[in-house]
Amino acid sequence: MEEYTQSAFYYIKLLMRWKIQFIVITVLAIAASAIFSSEMFIKPRYKSSATVYPANVVPFSEESTTEQILQIFQSNTIRTAVMNKFDLAKHYGIDTTKKEGHAALIGVYQTFVSISKTQYESVDIEVTDTDPEMARNMVNEIIFQLNDKVSTLHKTKSLEVGIVLQKQMALKRAQLDSLGDSLQVLRSKYHILDYNIQVEEVTKGYMKALNSGKGLKDIDELMRNLEEKGGDYYRLKVAYDAVLLGYNQVSNDYDNVQKELNKRFTYTYIVSYPSVSDKKAYPVRWLIVLISTVSANVFLFLVIIIGDYRKRMVI
């Protein structure tokens, strides 16, 4: 305890001995950091942000819809579209024709554009830029590109499904035509129009003809036709109805796909809209001044301690 007290007293004595120097270095550090953090040396940057939730997004896997749109937000497709839209290579002063120039552009973009998932399953989009309006516009463009990208993905998928459904409809249409032709032959050649009804009516007519002795020849011919071709007609009609039901279902699915293609969806629900900031986000001058002043004083104190230690070693 005594050694600690003596040590602390030693440092206090050093501080008091060199207090003028500490005051001077403090003033100089404050002045220098205030000057070098001003707009003459560091161009201020402004932040614009938005918070969005996914909407009308169908999950493709075990990932949540938020994770899915986050991946799309961070895709190189959207990044490239935003870079081209605002000519960021020129804006950031990067020559992309040079070696690794494009990689440098991507690095700067990722520094000034932040897209992250929140604990509430929303997505935060933050852009900082020297132009506050451009920062706001870039956030809006990122959201627009997300909607456009997801819409394109959904339409591409719907078109693929539509093509498959068209093929299924064509196949069932061909089956219906084939079965319909076979049924038409039985109708025209053997006069079988509705198997179940005709069997019932022919049975009634046959009994009446037996009692009256009239029209038995015609009924007998129709009965033979039903006996010979009735089973074929029945099987063809059941098959035809089954194929027709399937065709109607596929046709209904195809109509729904076409409706989806013609709909205009947005895939984000914007909770917090981006705005043009009138307050700079960087640099934080008071923090720069504080860190610079503390660092300068710590450095001076270390120099003094080392100098005093060497002096005592000599003595």
Q: Which two tokens stand for residue 29?
A: 């550090």
The pLDDT tens digits for 18-27 are 788 888 888 8
Q: Decide: pTM greater than 0.75.
A: no
The H or E element that residue 242 is part of is helix 216-262
- The reply to whether 284 falls in a domain is no
The pLDDT tens digits for 165-205 are 999 999 999 999 888 888 777 666 666 555 555 555 554 54
Mean pLDDT of 211-222: 50
Q: Which pLDDT value is given to residue 52? A: 93
Q: Which pLDDT value is given to residue 309? A: 72
Does pLDDT of 40 surpass 70? no
- The reply to whether 166 falls in a domain is yes
Pairing of strands 280-282, 113-117: unpaired
- The reply to whether 196 falls in a domain is yes
The pLDDT tens digits for 273-309 are 999 887 776 666 677 778 888 888 888 788 888 877 7
Does pLDDT of 4 surpass 50? no
Q: Which two tokens stand for residue 238?
A: 């059941």
For the chain, the domain total comes to 1
Nearest 5°: the CA angle 115, 151, 71 is 30
Bridge partners, 124 (sequence order): 51, 116
User: DSSP character for 264?
Assistant: -
What domain range includes position 209?
158-262
- The reply to whether 274 falls in a domain is no
Instruction: Dihedral sign for Cα 73, 76, 78, 84, please.
Output: positive
Q: Which residue has the higher pLDDT, 144 or 208?
A: 144
126: alpha, beta or left, given left = phi > 0 and alpha = psi -120 to 50?
beta
The answer to whether the beta carbons of residues 118 and 124 sit under 8 Å apart is yes
Give the C-alpha separation, 70 to 64, whole Å. 10
Q: What is the dihedral of CA 43, 44, 48, 49, to 10 degrees?
A: 100
Q: Which pLDDT value is given to residue 196? A: 52
Q: Which residue has the higher pLDDT, 16 or 149?
A: 149
- The reply to whether 240 falls in a domain is yes
- The reply to whether 269 falls in a domain is no
